[in-house]
């Protein structure tokens, strides 16, 4: 069973990566329409962040934990339901994530932010988080539920935790450097 899966592994990686790239482009192109649908969720997230700030909590640590938990729950859902409908559920999860990412990137660029600066909002943690999500999708299509969940814990916990930390600590620091350089140059 494992040798057969190993032969199919590149196909699964290519398939799920293609789904991500296609829907990333769709999200970018249709960013106005997609964000109109997502605004209630975005506003709720912003309100939650504001509530944590007002309470005087350690916002970066709380945000990193929240991001990790959200991504881990998505991975668990993908691993749990991935074998149903021939791997369509993982493809759906990737498509939704890519649509949102593409829409936010498209909106950021269309608001006048240079594309390279806009990429800094996503690339530092995205180079870890997106492959981890694709890996979750690939892991979801073989093995028993127990094997899928154990493999998910083994291979995804560290990258998802690292991605959350990078998103909260490294990405904002890089953006501050870019913004400081722009202020100096101006």
- Any idea what DSSP says for residue 86? G
Select from 141, 145, 119 the least CA-distant residue to 130. Answer: 119
This prediction's pTM: 0.85
Select from 77, 88, 66, 96 the least CA-distant residue to 15. Answer: 88
* Residue 56: φ, ψ to 5°: 80, 20
8 Å CB contact between 136 and 51? no
Q: pLDDT grade, residue 38 (50/70/90)?
A: confident
CB neighbours of residue 39 within 10 Å: 9
8 Å CB contact between 78 and 90? yes
Q: pLDDT grade, residue 1 (50/70/90)?
A: very low
Select from 24, 150, 137 the least CA-distant residue to 85. Answer: 137
Residue 139 has pLDDT above 90, yes or no: yes
**Cα 71 to Cα 56: distance, rounded to the nearest angstrom:** 25
pLDDT of residue 49: 63
Burial class (CB in 10 A: 0-12, 13-18, 19+), 11: exposed
**Cα 181 to Cα 117: distance, rounded to the nearest angstrom:** 12
For 48-106, the pLDDT digits (tens) are 666 666 666 668 888 899 999 999 999 999 999 998 877 899 999 999 999 999 999 99
**Cα 133 to Cα 138: distance, rounded to the nearest angstrom:** 9
**Cα 33 to Cα 19: distance, rounded to the nearest angstrom:** 20
pLDDT of residue 2: 45
CB neighbours of residue 22 within 10 Å: 15
């Amino acid at each position: 069973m494992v040798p057969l899966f190993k032969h199919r592994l590149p196909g699964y990686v290519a398939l799920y990566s293609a789904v991500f790239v296609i829907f990333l482009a769709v999200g970018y192109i249709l960013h106005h329409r997609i964000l109109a649908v997502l605004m209630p969720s975005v506003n709720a997230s912003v309100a939650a962040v504001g509530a944590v700030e007002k309470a005087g909590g350690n916002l970066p640590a709380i945000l990193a934990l929240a991001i990790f938990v959200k991504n881990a729950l998505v991975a668990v859902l993908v691993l749990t339901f991935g074998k149903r409908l021939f791997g369509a559920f993982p493809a759906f999860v990737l498509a939704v994530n890519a649509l949102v990412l593409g829409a936010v990137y498209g909106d950021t660029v269309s608001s006048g932010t240079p594309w390279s600066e806009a990429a800094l909002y996503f690339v530092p943690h995205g180079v870890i988080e997106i492959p981890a999500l694709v890996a979750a999708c690939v892991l979801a299509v073989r093995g028993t539920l127990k094997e899928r969940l154990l493999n998910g814990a083994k291979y995804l916990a560290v990258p998802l935790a690292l991605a959350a930390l990078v998103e909260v600590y490294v990405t904002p620091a890089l953006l501050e450097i870019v913004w400081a350089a722009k202020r100096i140059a101006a």
